[in-house]
Amino acid sequence: MSAATATGARSRYDAVVVGAGHNGLVCAAYLARAGRKVLVLERRHLVGGATITEEIHPGFRFSCCSYVVSLLRPWIIRDLELPRHGYEVLPLDSTFTPFPDGRYLLRDADPERTRRAIAAFSPRDAEVYKQFGQRMAELGRLVKPLVDGVAPDPTSLAPRELARLARLGRGLAGRGEEWLVGLVKMMTMSAVDFLAEWFECEELIAPMSVSGIIGTFLGVRSPGTAYVLLHHYMGEIDGSYRAWGLPRGGTGAVAEAIASSARALGVEIRTGAPVARIQVTGGRATGVVLENGDEIGARVVVSGADPHRTFLGLVGAEHLEPDFARQVRRFKMRGSSGKVNLALDGLPEFACLPGRGAHLTGDITIAPSVEYLERAYDDAKYGDFSRRPFLDIVIPSLTDPTVAPPGGHVMSIFVQYAPYHLKSGAADWEHQREAFGDAVIRTLEEYMPGLERRILHRQVLSPWDLERIYGLTEGNIFHGELSLEQLAFLRPVAGWSRYRTPVRDLWMCASGTHPGGGIMGAPGALCARALLAARAV
Amino acid sequence: MPIPSPFHERTRALCTSYRWKDWAGYAAVCSYDTSHDREYFAFRESAGLLDVSPLYKYEIHGPDAAALLSRMVVRDVGKLEIGRVAYVCWCDDRGKVVDDGTIARLGEDSFRMTAADPTYHWLLAVGRGLRATVEDSSARLAALALQGPRSRAILGEATGADLDGLKYFRITRARLDGLEVWVSRTGYTGDLGYEVWVERDGALAVWDALVAAGRRHGLEPAGLDALDVARIEAGYLLLGVDYYSAPKVVLESRKSTPDELGLGWMVDLERGPFVGRAAIAAERARPPAWSFVGLEVSWQALEALYESYGLPPALPATARRDGLPVYAGETQVGKATSHTWSPILKKYLVLATVEASRAARGTVLELEHTVEFERRRVAATVVATPFFDPERKRRP
């Protein structure tokens, strides 16, 4: 039967990719580059998945979901010639933290200025800060091979696996024990505890610790969050010597560039084509069925959806071994964040540092103290959104005038915590949404008086909305929490971290696989590489 | 000691980095902030405002003005229509390039010329016996370059003029804040952009008006560091860096013909005599020895080189002008004269002069690159310039 499908009714497509998120597109592009015939099917009217720019208010273009890039692999940018297809990244090289008492801390690309700024809080920390950055960058380099290759499997004694582990170990060898200790500490400690080994002043620790919790349902004092800090230092743009950036035209422009490159390589992309299910016959995936009933056959099906949606939704548990289905169910999604996007009629001002300036063009963090962050987490633990949440804000229109009309501005506010499972139930978000938006604006008004008067339009996205609109199960922005027990060879299920699935000819290519979420593209590219190496297509 | 330009009062207040350099005797801003990043991206995303007053400027008037310039430069200026600007170079009697610049025809008998080096004496010498006067307007005229995708909107708002009709390399009169100015659609960034020329006394008013109009469009004052990155991306030559002025060098090998600089397209031999014509014609009998090319360094090779030292790839943050040898195998076949990391193309770009036989597109050469005090090489491929050429640059 399967042989007949392969030879007789030869499939028109070698691969059909479900979902035109950035990983699906990257995967498709690499497959096409190797001469395969690829079709990408997207449910929505535009490509990008959670990497999109939408004109929510006339003239104002929001990066509705993801809002910065840093981890998009440089080799993918080169292989797919993304700059030629419109990929441009503008610098975002400062972090501004205002405090309720009118003080503020601005850290930017100028090391001396940053040192002086920190010294106002702690002269000691000001000196340590640079050393810390250097140590983290080196640690980041050590674990970088993890991100650029398939996950090594320490449970296997196969020579190739041992070689992979050895390569990672080689970086550590010769650096002395303290490096290994440092790495192990990072893997196990909480972000705050880890930072407290370096720094004394909380005004520095609090805003630095938040990169350990973004997108997870953990607090800055939860063990294991220190490791995620490292991702922050791996952010590389232009090789490895720039940190984070804003894509010109919003993050949607990144997806557009990848799509344009993919099309140039021969990929066919269909939008407005929702997949109802993945066709499984005799334990193997043979194609997909669209919601309109159309059947599309392909030699392999590659899912860009998250593990829950793929296996429990599109495939169906009836086609899975009960044990595998159980493990997929255990894979933690539990979205913890929301987005508030604002269209403004002018530039808002901070009470502590009025006027425009470099502090507005970078990253703005509302994380004034560790206690503040922990209290925000407390609300979430008991099924409520944070009354005074952690906020991560960018105003892209200051550096990229294409996203707002002259004089107007867009403000992107990442908000944590917003638990998917409210104590009143996830569906109650429909009624809580605006109250949640109000809490965010109220929090910001304390620092930016007059902000509310400048708002022309407000888009509030709860995790429930993220699930409904963007297909992210439980609104998890990373297709599954980036916590240690769900990373590397454990992502999404132990034994299935190499993009294959127990369903033959069904592969996974998105953030629910190694190395995980963020606009990184690595899962998509590594999946394509694995598919080709296995001669699956 | 450099002297202040007409805009100094404004630029000084904004230049928080204190990074200045001498440009033609004037104090010019390298970058307003410690890094030129923001200024560079203003050129490419919104608009950058650059003080270009130090450019040498000359007004040539009189019935023989066109004849004078046609005799001096390699292009036929007589054909230039009123309101048009031409990019030109001029040579010595041996056909070696002296300088490059622009000539704008402001009226039937009236031209404005810009140059990188002082050129007054050269104009006088060529114009001897002709009915034309030459005025050195360098100090009298202040100039601003407004470059970037939003420059048209900003200038349109500031002048109230419809600039859509002003095509690439055209010049027109306009009024700005009640002042008479000239606006040309020219620049050194290879992007949509304009240059505004005004009497020195009106300089600050023009600056203020452009800054006010630009506020809503993300305008940033920009310095020479950002310009240097942009001009390399645009593939533009720089006198004293990518080539040398023939009368100023001793060694014959340092001199260049227009063909060797890639400026052969502007040479018009089929007209009356001009300085260097015979020599250029004779030179053309044999193939040129050198060729000015763009090189793109292989990032894979660079990454591998640094990896062999256990380091991540690192490049200088600014565009560089230190000359580097270019090799084919073991033989040095040329020199790299300008190089920069291009933030918009995500490539390491090089302007180089190489043996003409090595200049074909796609030729793989090697560029010297020092890592940890050791001289190494990385592969670099000859590619077409401009490296960056947005459609908006020429779009009507």
Distances (CA, A) of B91 to B74, B105, B214: 7, 21, 40
Would you tell me how many other CB atoms lie within 10 Å of the CB of residue A463?
29
Rounded to an integer, the average pLDDT of B251-277 is 95
What is the percent of chain A with per-residue pLDDT over 90, rounded to a whole number? 73
Provide the pLDDT for residue A510. Answer: 96
pLDDT at A414: 97
> What pLDDT shows up at residue A5?
43
Query: Residue B346 and residue A83: Cβ atoms within 8 Å?
Result: yes
Containing A400, the helix (H) or strand (E) segment is none
Residues of B in contact with A90 (CB under 8 A): 41, 45
Determine whether domain A2-54+69-88+248-331+482-533 maps to CATH 3.50.50.60.
Answer: yes
Alpha-helix residue ranges (DSSP H) falling in B127-266: 151-159, 203-214, 224-233
Who among A83, A239, A399 is closest to B45 (CB)? A399
pLDDT recorded at residue A241: 41
| Chain B contact set for A87 (CB, 8 A) | 346
Interface contact B41-A402, CB threshold 8 A: no
**pLDDT for the residue numbered A54:** 96
Nearest to A239 among B46, B153, B312 (CB): B312
Name the region of B130 (left: φ>0; alpha: ψ -120 to 50; beta: rest). beta
Q: What is the mean pLDDT of chain B?
A: 96
Share of chain A above pLDDT 70, in %: 93
Mean pLDDT value across chain A:
90
Residue B112 has pLDDT above 60, yes or no: yes
Beta-carbon separation of A240 and B313 below 8 A:
yes
Burial status of residue B84 (CB atoms within 10 A of its CB: 0-12, 13-18, 19 or more): middle
Strands B290-297 and A455-461: unpaired
Range A334-473 has CATH code 3.30.519: yes
Top pLDDT among B123 and A143 is at: B123
Return the pLDDT at B314: 85
Structure confidence at residue A174 as a pLDDT band (50, 70, 90): low
Contact between chains at A83 and B347 (C-beta distance less than 8 A): yes
Contact residues, chain A, for B33 at CB < 8 Å: 110, 358
Nearest C-alpha in A relative to B343: A238
Indicate where chain B has its CATH 2.40.30.110 domain(s). 289-396
Residue A17's pLDDT band (cuts 50, 70, 90) = very high
Q: What is the pLDDT of residue A330?
A: 95
In 3D, which of B240, B110, B118, B98 has the Cα closest to residue B182?
A: B110
Q: Is the pLDDT of residue A240 over 60?
A: no
CA distance A207 to A95: 9
Could you tell me the pLDDT band of residue A145, with boundaries at 50, 70 and 90?
A: confident
Query: Nearest Cβ partner of B41 from A74, A77, A91?
Result: A91
Task: Flag whether pLDDT at A233 surpasses 80.
Answer: no
Predicted pLDDT of residue A74: 84
A2, pLDDT greater than 50? no
Min CA distance, B349 vs chain A (Å)?
13
Residue B313 has pLDDT above 60, yes or no: yes
Buried b (16+ CB within 10 A) or exposed e, A345-376: eebbbbebbeeeebbbbbbbbbbbebebbeeb
Which residues of chain B neighbour A110 with C-beta distances below 8 Å?
Answer: 33-35
pLDDT at A1: 38
Cβ pair A239:B38 closer than 8 A: no
Question: Which residues of chain A form CATH 3.30.519?
Answer: 334-473
Distance between B304 CA and the closest CA of chain A, angstroms: 12
A-B CB pairs within 8 A amount to: 71
Q: Is 80 exceeded by the pLDDT of residue A234? A: no
B38·A399 Cβ contact <8 A: yes
Domain with CATH 3.30.1360.120 in chain B: 8-52+139-222
Position A183 scores a pLDDT of 78
Chain A residues whose CB is inside 8 A of the B32 CB are none
Q: pLDDT at position B200, please? A: 97
Fold of the B57-136 domain: Alpha-Beta Plaits (3.30.70)
Q: How many residues does chain A have?
A: 537
SS3 call for A67: coil
Q: What average pLDDT does range A12-24 have in this prediction?
A: 97
End-to-end CA distance of chain B: 43
| A38-41 and A13-18 beta bridge pairing | parallel
- Find the mean pLDDT for residues B166-190: 96
Helices and strands (DSSP H and E) totals, chain B:
9, 19
Q: What angle do CA A189, A194, A198 make, to 5 degrees?
A: 165
Burial of A90 (0-12, 13-18, 19+ CB in 10 A): buried
Chain A hits for B217, Cβ within 8 Å: 401, 406
Range in A40-44, A304-308, B2-6, B306-310 with the lowest mean pLDDT: B306-310
Q: How far is B99 from chain A (nearest CA, A)?
A: 33
Q: Among candidates A26, A33, A31, A27, which has minimal Cα distance to A13?
A: A31
Give me B366's structure tokens. 């090697």
| Range scoring the smallest mean pLDDT among A31-35, A99-103, A226-230, B46-50 | A226-230
Residue of B nearest to A248 (CA): B45
Distance from CA of B216 to the nearest CA of A (A): 4
- Interchain CB distance below 8 Å, B345 and A399: no
Instruction: Tell me whether residues A358 and B33 touch, CB distance under 8 A.
Output: yes
What mean pLDDT is predicted for residues B85-100? Answer: 97
- Domain B289-396 superfamily per CATH: Aminomethyltransferase beta-barrel domains (2.40.30.110)
- The predicted pLDDT at position A111 comes to 87
Identify all chain A residues contacting B34, using CB atoms and an 8 Å cutoff. 109-110, 113
The pLDDT of A479-486, averaged and rounded, is 87
- The CA distance from A29 to A259, in Å, is 8
Pick from A147-156, B282-291, B326-335: least confident: A147-156
- Give the chain A residue whose CA is nearest to the CA of B157: A406
Q: What pLDDT score does A239 carry?
A: 45
Q: Which of A83, A93, A240 sits opposite B312 (nearest CB)?
A: A240
Query: What is the DSSP code (8-state) at residue B79?
Result: G
**How many Å lie between the alpha carbon of A390 and the closest alpha carbon of chain B?**
28
Confidence grade of residue B253 (pLDDT, cut at 50, 70, 90): very high
Which residue in A89, A399, A406 is closest to B216 by CB distance? A406
> pLDDT grade, residue A7 (50/70/90)?
very low
Question: Averaged over B61-76, what is the pLDDT?
Answer: 97
Which regions of A462-525 does DSSP assign to beta strands (E)?
Answer: 506-508
pLDDT band at A173 (very low <50, low <70, confident <90, very high): low
Determine the average pLDDT of the residues in B221-237: 98
CA-nearest residue to A361 within chain B is: B38
Q: Is A319 left (phi over 0), alpha (psi -120 to 50) or beta?
A: alpha
Residues of chain B contacting A, Cβ within 8 Å:
33-35, 37-38, 41, 44-46, 149-150, 153, 216-218, 299-300, 303, 312-315, 341, 343-347
pLDDT over 80 (residue A158) = no
Asked if the model's pLDDT at residue A170 lies above 80, the reply is no
Which segments within chain B are labelled E, that is strand?
19-23, 26-31, 47-51, 56-61, 85-91, 97-107, 110-115, 133-136, 141-147, 171-176, 179-184, 193-199, 219-221, 290-297, 324-328, 331-342, 347-355, 364-371, 374-383
pLDDT value of position A168: 66
pLDDT at B204: 98
* Parts of chain B belonging to CATH 3.30.70.1400: 57-136
- Asked if residue A475 lies in contact with residue A462, where contact means CB atoms within 8 angstroms, the answer is yes
* Nearest chain B alpha carbon to A109: B35
Q: Which of A87, A399, A406 sits opposite B41 (nearest CB)?
A: A399
User: How big is the CA angle at A519 (ends A517 and A522), to the nearest 5 degrees?
Assistant: 70
Chain B residues whose CB is inside 8 A of the A399 CB are 38, 41, 45-46, 218
Predicted confidence (pLDDT) at residue B285 exceeds the cutoff of 70: yes
Residue A3: pLDDT over 50: no
Residue type for B236, please?
Y
**Strand A95-98 relative to strand A363-366, pairing:** parallel
Q: How far is A208 from chain B (nearest CA, A)?
A: 23
pLDDT in tens, B345-369: 989 999 999 999 999 999 999 999 9
For residue B41, the chain A residues in CB contact (below 8 A) are 90-91, 399
Q: Supply the DSSP string of A130-183, one letter for each residue.
A: HHHHHHHHHHHHHHHHHHHSPPP-TT---HHHHHHHHHHHHHHTTS-HHHHHHH
Statement: residue A316 has pLDDT above 80: yes
- State pLDDT tens for residues A59-112: 999 999 999 887 888 889 999 999 999 998 888 889 999 999 999 999 988 889
Inter-chain CB proximity B45 and A402 less than 8 Å? yes
Between the alpha carbon of residue A536 and those of residues A36, A168, A406, A421, the distances in Å are 11, 28, 51, 39
Give the mean pLDDT of A428-450: 97
**Of the candidates A78, A90, A397, which has its C-beta nearest B299's C-beta?**
A78
Strand partners of residue B113: B58, B103
Determine the topology of domain B8-52+139-222 in CATH.
Answer: Gyrase A; domain 2 (3.30.1360)
pLDDT tens column, B379-388: 999 999 999 9
Could you tell me which of B227, B208, B147 has the C-alpha nearest to residue B9? B208
d(C-alpha A408, C-alpha A459), whole Å: 16
Q: Which residues in chain B are closer than 8 Å to A410, comparing Cβ atoms?
A: none
> Which residues of chain A make contact with B296, given a CB cutoff of 8 A?
none
pLDDT of residue A11: 57
- A88:B153 CB<8 A: no
Mean pLDDT of B89-108: 97
Residues of chain A with CATH 3.50.50.60: 2-54+69-88+248-331+482-533
ipTM, two decimals: 0.78
pLDDT tens-digit map of B134-162 = 999 999 999 999 999 999 999 999 999 88
Reduced to 3 states (helix: H, G, I; strand: E, B; else coil), residue B29 is strand
